[in-house]
């Protein structure tokens, strides 16, 4: 069995990509062979013995390309160790509570149940006002009422990635 680990992600503005890159760095630092790719650049999963998949979360939903990847690869993912992570809630407090207690959107739950991931993490996100247009800023501040800024907890992300590495390395 090969030793390649795939860290793949769907990111709109780069914050989730940066989390995926951090996870990949931590895995690599433990001796694992890791490829870090956006979901729309992953064509074959056979070459990977495990997959870490992350998606940005907007208004409680995963990005379309992450959902499509999960559904299209459901059977293959169910045959190997999989970890999922979501990035998105901003503000103070537990990120899962900020998503109303859901680690994954309800619509995805049947697919997630079929895949049976080892773990599902939810990390605080980053809303960079410099990358948003006027309408997006207005929607976030007035309708969704989410604070802008970088709320990512790099220690928490690194610790989670280290636990994934420990499992993959048989520790």
The parent domain of residue 107 ranges over: 4-168
Please check whether residue 66 is in contact with residue 53, taking contact to mean a CB–CB distance below 8 angstroms: yes
- Name the domain count of the chain: 1
Could you report the per-residue pLDDT of 84-94, keeping only the tens digit for each?
A: 999 976 767 76
Kindly give the pairing relationship between strand 61-62 and strand 50-58.
antiparallel
- Residue 169: pLDDT above 70? yes
Q: How far apart are CA 154 and CA 106, in angstroms?
A: 27
This prediction has a pTM of 0.88
150: its two tokens: 């970088």
Q: Which 8-state DSSP code applies to residue 108?
A: G
CATH code of the domain containing 103 = 3.40.50.360
CB-based contacts of 163: which residues, under 8 Å, 6+ apart?
A: 119
């Amino acid at each position: 069995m090969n030793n390649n680990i795939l860290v793949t992600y769907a990111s709109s503005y780069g914050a989730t990509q940066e989390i995926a890159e951090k996870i990949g760095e931590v895995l690599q630092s433990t001796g694992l062979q890791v490829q870090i790719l956006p979901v729309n650049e992953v064509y074959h999963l056979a070459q990977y013995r495990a997959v870490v998949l992350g998606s940005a979360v907007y208004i409680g939903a995963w990005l379309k390309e992450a959902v499509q990847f999960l559904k299209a690869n459901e059977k293959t993912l169910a045959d190997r160790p999989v970890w999922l992570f979501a990035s998105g809630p901003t503000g103070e407090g537990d990120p899962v509570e900020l998503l109303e207690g859901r680690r994954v959107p309800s619509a995805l739950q049947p697919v997630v149940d079929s895949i049976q991931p080892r773990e599902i993490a939810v990390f605080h996100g980053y809303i960079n006002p410099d990358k948003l247009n006027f309408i997006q800023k207005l929607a976030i501040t007035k309708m969704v009422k989410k604070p802008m800024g970088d709320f990512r907890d790099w220690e928490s992300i690194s610790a989670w990635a280290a636990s994934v590495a420990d499992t993959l390395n048989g520790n």
